[in-house]
Amino acid sequence: MQMQLLISKEAIKRRVRELASQIASDHSGRELVLVGILKGAVFFFSDLARELGVPARIDFVRAASYGSLSTSSGTVTLIKDIELSVENRSVVLVEDIVDTGLTLACIVEELKKKNPLSLKVCVLVDKLERRKVEIPVDYCGFRIESGFVVGYGLDYDEQYRNLSEIYALQGDFPT
Ligand code: 5GP
């Protein structure tokens, strides 16, 4: 198994800053709640939150998807819900990567039931090839066609999350 550098930490930093400024200006004057999806979004989430430059509450959800090592099965359940109220507040949901779209679709459904004023989706990586359900991605860090990426929160079998850059996994690896 080999890894090839795909997105440098400088490129990530630049893009996070741009996304944060876009999110801040789109939500000016609103009560903002950033909701991170554990665990993959942790580093993206914490960098984004600190670049915002406007007040925001933070909360987290965690979804379990019973799939293989590198893909979700489509059976997604929320195993940790948010603790703050989002009623009449604007939510930005922050995810590491959208692939089939099933994980985000499930979490968006759950959050909508809580009557937020608005709900936007921000993803670090939008992977287009295997999309099964349409997900409106309002803020997108990087687009890739296919492949399997790790680093900056993204894992393969719980490894590589704490790398500062994003790498493409190459070669034969169990999926
Ligand atoms: P979806 O439900 O959109 O198919 O998949 C979302 C989840 O699958 C992500 O939160 C992530 O855990 C995992 N996933 C999908 N593609 C990749 C990838 O390229 N790299 C990593 N590390 N995880 C991925």
**98 CB within 6 A, ligand 1:** yes
Separation of 75 CA from ligand 1 center, angstroms?
Answer: 13
Average the pLDDT over 9-19 and give the result: 98
DSSP letter string over 2-43? EEEEEE-HHHHHHHHHHHHHHHHHHTTTS-EEEEEEETTTHH
Q: What is the mean pLDDT of the chain?
A: 94
**102 CB within 6 A, ligand 1:** yes
Structural domain harbouring 109: 10-145
Q: Does residue 1 lie in a domain region?
A: no
Q: Could you check whether the bond before residue 39 is cis, i.e. omega within 30 degrees of 0?
A: yes
Considering the entire predicted model, what is its pTM? Answer: 0.95
* pLDDT score for 70: 62
* Burial of 138 (C-beta count, 10 Å sphere; 0-12/13-18/19+): middle
Q: Does residue 70 lie in a domain region?
A: yes
What's the number of domains the chain is made of?
Answer: 1
Instruction: Tell me: pLDDT of 67 over 80.
Output: no
Q: Does residue 108 lie in a domain region?
A: yes
Decide if 62 contacts 38 (C-beta within 8 A). Answer: yes
Separation of 88 CA from ligand 1 center, angstroms?
Answer: 30
Q: How many Å apart are CA 106 and CA 81, to the nearest integer?
A: 12
Average the pLDDT over 80-104 and give the result: 97
Average the pLDDT over 35-64 and give the result: 97
